[in-house]
């Protein structure tokens, strides 16, 4: 699973309540793996229509678009 534009495998999503709070993750194994500093019990993993951002380029879109 990688960015459809640049091929990078790391992404982040923004907290819905605080647009400045972000949660980094990768999907190299096919599963969402949050960064070690993210408490996964407090954050729900992105789903099909969750908005995510590539850490390397300007691409952003729905999580479902990288699951191909």
> How confident is the model over 35-60, as pLDDT tens digits?
999 988 888 889 888 999 999 999 99
Percent of the chain predicted with pLDDT > 90:
60
pTM, two decimals, is 0.88
- Given a cut of 60, whether residue 68 has pLDDT beyond it is no
Predicted local confidence at residue 57, as pLDDT: 96
CB atoms within 10 A of CB 62: 14
Cα–Cα distance for residue pair 27/34, rounded to 1 Å: 9
Percent of the chain predicted with pLDDT > 70: 97
Predicted confidence at residue 27, as pLDDT, reads 85
């Amino acid at each position: 699973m990688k960015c459809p534009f640049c091929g990078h495998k790391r992404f982040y999503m923004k907290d819905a309540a605080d647009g400045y709070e972000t949660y980094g993750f990768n999907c190299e194994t096919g599963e969402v793996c949050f960064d070690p500093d993210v408490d996964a019990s407090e954050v729900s993993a992105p789903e099909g229509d969750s908005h995510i951002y590539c850490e390397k380029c300007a691409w952003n879109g729905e999580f479902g678009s990288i699951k191909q």
